[in-house]
Homo-oligomer: A and B are copies of this chain.
Amino acid sequence: VKVNATVSIEKETPETERPDTFLRGSENDASSVRYRFEKMIREAQDRVCNAIEIADGGGKFKEDVWSRPGGGGGISRVLQDGAVWEKAGVNVSVVYGQMPPDAYRAAKGAAANDQKPGPIPFFAAGISSVNAPGAPRQWWFGGGTDLTPAYIFEEDVKHFHSVQKKACDKFDPTFYPRFKKWCDDYFYIKHRDERRGLGGIFFDDLNDYDQEMLLSFATECANSVIPAYIPIIEKRKDLPFTDHQKAWQQLRRGRYVEFNLVYDRGTTFGLKTGGRIESILVSLPLTARWEYDHKPEVGSEEWKLLDACINPKEWI
């Protein structure tokens, strides 16, 4: 009995230092979009890690650099057991090679009839940042730019969405409403009929726009992570909390685990292609919890959060 029939791409190799670029041969051309995209996400990684270390005031990121013999590599940075964050991960990866058909379907979220025969060449580069503060009455966001808090502070959600909207509006007034809805649709835990959090923006496969514009928009989004997120942490990190509130945060993190392992394209793609497991699963929280048939009391703060996950709201 084989549970999963996909073949895996080769394992990664640890590296002792960061290369200037993970691109090789003809890929390594400073004017190419690939090269500039890598540069942008690596700069964003430096800035985000720096901002988090300062806000945490205690923890330091641990760095792992790795490469794949077939092409590409990445830099994983994780801060664990900090003063504010239980676990914060900011990863950059630049991978390319041949993709097994199953992985292609996971990445595209495509129906079976969309499948192509044989391996598909791919290039994927990205930055992902998943941040889980220890205190439950704060925020965290994951998988790009969505917010998955345990409790709602309306001014914080408005702030977060406003920063996203501002970044979008610089490019196209239709972006924010479209990508806000896309986010609500994407971070959907189908088996619970609820979203994992309060949304943000999400976009994928914007093939109708030119590469320069997309690079510029992606840069704008990367640059809005710090102003959208860090002020919220600063404001809420010292709020006291009860055991009950901590347990609720852990339950919401359980939902986050369910989304990431069952539905998230990046995660399911990574698991199927035999990517670097510790980098892929750094998105899983330090601790999570599942209580049988837990239902928050109607009208409670917990209930309000759940209600907003079931019925997405317009925050701004």
Contact = CB atoms under 8 A, between A and B. Distances in A.
Interface of A: 1-5, 62, 64, 78, 80, 87, 89, 109, 111-112, 115, 182, 185-186, 188, 190-192, 204, 250, 254, 257-258, 261-263, 265, 268, 271, 274, 277-278, 280-282, 284-293
A188 to B, nearest CB: 6
B4 A190 contact: yes
B292 A62 contact: yes
A285 B292 contact: no
Contacts of A285: 290
A278 B250 contact: no
A287 B250 contact: yes
Contacts of A258: 261, 281
28 contacts: A1-B109, A1-B182, A1-B186, A1-B204, A3-B109, A3-B190, A3-B263, A3-B265, A62-B292, A64-B293, A190-B271, A191-B271, A191-B274, A191-B280, A192-B277, A250-B287, A254-B284, A254-B288, A258-B281, A261-B261, A262-B262, A278-B293, A281-B290, A284-B290, A285-B290, A286-B290, A288-B289, A288-B290
B291 A289 contact: no
Contact of A289 (B186, B190, B204, B286): B286
A292 B257 contact: no
Contacts of A89: 292
3 closest A-B pairs (Cβ-Cβ)?
A: A261-B261, A284-B290, A78-B292
A133 to B, nearest CB: 16
Contacts of A262: 261-262, 268, 271
A87 B289 CA distance: 11
A4 B192 CA distance: 13
Contact of A78 (B2, B182, B265, B293): B293
Contacts of A87: 290, 292
Contacts of A289: 286-288
Contact of A112 (B112, B271, B290): B112
